[in-house]
Amino acid sequence: MPDVQKTTINRPWAIKSAIIGLAFLAFGLWGLYDALVAYPKRGVGYALKAEQLYLQAAHDMGRILRAGVETPDAELTELRRRAAAGEQLNAREAQLMEWLEALGTVGRLDPAFTDLPRDRGDDPVGAAVRADAEGADPEPVPVRIDGGVSRLQELNTYWATRTPPKKLRGYDIPSQWVILAIGGGVGLYVGFLFFKVGTTTYRWEPGAKALTLPGGATILPSDLDDVDKRKWEKFLVFLKIREGHETLGGQEIKLDLYRHAPLEDWVLEMERERFPERASEEASVEAEGETEELHRPTDGAPAASDTGSPVIPSDEDATRGA
């Protein structure tokens, strides 16, 4: 039985692709974390600061006892309509609109977060204020927020020792989902490429110099009309098959030499067998290049024969991968 060799995933391609895939995947996971954790936390923090400023404005105008908002969605719609019509909002109304917009950005435009009194829910202010308080046995956190006065007091205490976060813009969280889609999409695509390359196998019989393609067709050196290297620098080669081939006659087969190893060596061996004159020409060019290098001045001055146009190496591998 002939010694049949098989291609494997080319290590340089695998390393490069893995780095790219993992980088994009990490980028996508970063977007996921921001969308689910970091940005919502920042948005809630800004909403708490906006709530404090609203309650303070309501207190200054003598409206603190009626500071709860039973229908926040309708209230925000009306405030936006008035602002768009050019109507001047007072300080309380302006701060109310800012607070409601901040809640809407993080999906909390609901009476459960605006009405007074209301259940505390996952509100962090009460627990944080009591944790900051001196004493080993702080009072338990009330399960309800009773009214505007007590809420303003605890918000004032809360923000006295903290820096308010930046305002969350409306597109901040959606943009993180876009980042997740891009990063995750590229990461999955690279994973798909690994699977595809890993399951695509070329076979080689050294004795007959026969290359078997993944589809099962076999190519011998005598089946080649040409080995087209027009995209050799991109690690692509095109095999032009003679008309008389049983299954591939007249076709041009594109091979990716970068993903599959040692496919390039096999193609070059087939080319040398089918077109020996090309191998002689390449050897001659390579020898001329080595001779020129030996006669090149070492002091940096140009040689007498170099006063004209510079010599451009004709070796096709000189710009490979550039």
* Per-residue pLDDT, 281: 72
User: Sign of the C-alpha dihedral, residues 21, 23, 24, 29?
Assistant: positive
**Prediction pTM value:** 0.75
Task: Tell me if the bond preceding 117 is cis, omega within 30° of 0.
Answer: yes
pLDDT at 295: 57
Identify the pLDDT of residue 320. Answer: 57
263-274 vs 276-294: helix crossing angle, rounded to 10 = 110
For the chain, where are the alpha helices, taking DSSP H only?
A: 11-33, 39-60, 72-84, 91-105, 111-114, 125-132, 148-160, 172-199, 263-274, 276-294
State whether the Cα torsion 296-297-300-301 is positive or negative.
negative
Half-sphere exposure of 5 (CA within 13 A, CB side): 16
Question: CA end-to-end span of the chain, whole Å?
Answer: 42
Of 161, 187, 216, nearest in space to 31 by CA: 187
Query: What's the confidence (pLDDT) of residue 297?
Result: 57
Measured CA to CA, the distance from residue 207 to residue 179 in angstroms comes to 52
Whether residue 210 contacts residue 202, with contact meaning beta carbons closer than 8 Å, is answered with no
pLDDT in single tens digits along all 322 residues of the chain? 458 999 999 999 999 999 999 999 999 999 999 999 999 999 999 999 999 999 999 999 999 999 999 999 999 999 999 999 999 999 999 999 999 999 999 999 999 999 999 999 888 898 888 777 665 455 677 788 999 999 999 999 999 999 999 999 999 999 999 999 999 999 999 999 999 999 999 999 999 999 999 999 999 999 999 999 999 999 999 999 999 999 999 999 999 999 999 999 999 999 999 999 887 776 666 656 666 665 565 555 444 444 444 434 444 454 455 4
- 145 forms bridges with which residues in the sheet? 118
The amino acid at residue 86 is G
Sign (positive or negative) of CA dihedral 24, 25, 30, 33: positive
